[in-house]
């Protein structure tokens, strides 16, 4: 275990000298800053109830315009959901925390995790293939460590790096949110829909689950990227396959969701955020089951990587 810790420390040191990773870091900071500027320009300065009532009227108008269009049922359902949430917000005197507080700005930036996950997949796809391309693989394997430990340390390094970017995203988003909204901490409730009913949830609890549920699925995609990279020695192919699966997984999941075997397929279970939104990616599914499936596939992808890495001549 100590050997793996030393290897991880060495990998993290190499990353600190990796200029592209610093570029990614600056890029993430830039994306959050731009999001802050946009939020600042859209900031409502009046009574929040007036803002919500205006939005309600706009949605009522839009819904009436779509009534005769049978091809937009999904869109109409989405507008209905917005109306239910806004009406509940006014009736219960609960302001939309996402638009009026620093912690709400952290929740709004959850979409940035997709960029971070993609960066980690790209890095995972090159962490082995680059060693071959640079000719450093021979120096790596002659060190007094088992090859399996070397590969495990690289995998753990990516997971730690992934978490680091998530923490930076949350901290910097909160900092930018403070500059936009000020030190306002009176609103702790966010509204959500579950089984067609509006429910009140603690914003801090929801944020932690949102970030966690966007992080967990990426473990499997990172494992897949490492496996393909180890097998083909190609970072480009590994990145393309992993990002394609993570991006198109929802489409593939929808096409097979009616079959009994679907609940055992990886990309059917990766949209964990649906559990927070009151639905399940599979009929009658449970969060623990989907997380178990994700971790199972992560292991399934990683074991062949170790076997190939151990057997391959350098």
d(CA 65, CA 61): 6
- Specify the pLDDT at position 143: 63
Mean local confidence (pLDDT), 256-281: 80
Flag whether pLDDT at 231 surpasses 70.
Answer: yes
Rounded to the nearest 10°, the torsion over CA 6, 123, 288, 256 is: -150
d(CA 267, CA 251): 9
Q: Which residues pair with 191 in a beta bridge?
A: 200
Residue 54: count other Cβ atoms within 10 Å of its Cβ: 12
Residue 171: count other Cβ atoms within 10 Å of its Cβ: 11
Mean local confidence (pLDDT), 63-79: 73
Highest mean pLDDT among 13-17, 49-53, 206-210: 206-210
CB contact set of 271 (below 8 Å; sequence gap of 6+): 217, 249, 250, 253, 281
- Specify the pLDDT at position 211: 95
- Residue 192 dihedral angles phi and psi, to the nearest 5°: -145, 170
Flag whether pLDDT at 277 surpasses 90.
Answer: no
- Specify the pLDDT at position 166: 96
Mean local confidence (pLDDT), 275-302: 83
- Specify the pLDDT at position 293: 93
Q: What's the pTM value of the predicted model, to 2 decimals?
A: 0.85
């Amino acid at each position: 275990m100590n050997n793996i810790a030393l290897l991880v420390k060495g990998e993290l040191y190499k990353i600190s000298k990796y200029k592209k990773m610093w570029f990614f870091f600056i890029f993430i900071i830039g994306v959050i800053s731009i999001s802050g500027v946009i939020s600042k320009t859209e900031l409502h300065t009046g009574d929040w109830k007036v803002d919500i009532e205006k939005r309600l009227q706009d949605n009522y108008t839009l819904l009436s315009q779509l009534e005769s269009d049978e091809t937009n049922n999904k869109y109409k359902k989405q507008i209905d959901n917005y109306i239910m949430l806004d009406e509940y917000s006014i009736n219960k005197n609960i302001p939309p925390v996402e638009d009026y507080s620093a912690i709400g700005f952290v929740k709004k930036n959850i979409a940035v995790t997709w960029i971070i996950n993609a960066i980690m997949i790209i890095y995972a796809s090159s962490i082995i293939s680059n060693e071959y391309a640079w000719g450093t693989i021979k120096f790596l394997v002659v060190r007094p460590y088992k090859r399996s430990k070397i590969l495990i340390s690289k995998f753990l390094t990516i997971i730690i790096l992934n978490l680091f970017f998530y923490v930076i995203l949350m901290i910097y988003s909160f900092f930018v949110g403070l500059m936009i909204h000020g030190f306002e901490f009176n609103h702790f409730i966010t509204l959500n829909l579950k089984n067609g009913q509006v429910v009140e949830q603690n914003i801090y609890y929801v944020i932690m689950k949102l970030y966690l549920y966007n992080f967990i699925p990426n473990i499997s995609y990172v494992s897949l990227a490492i496996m393909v990279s180890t097998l083909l020695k190609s970072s480009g192919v590994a990145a393309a396959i992993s990002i394609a699966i993570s991006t198109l997984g929802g489409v593939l999941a929808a096409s097979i969701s009616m079959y009994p075997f679907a609940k055992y397929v990886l990309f059917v279970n990766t949209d964990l955020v649906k559990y927070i939104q009151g639905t399940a990616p599979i009929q009658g599914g449970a969060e623990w089951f989907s997380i178990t499936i994700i971790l199972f596939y992560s292991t399934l992808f990683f074991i062949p990587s170790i076997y190939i890495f151990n057997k391959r001549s350098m």
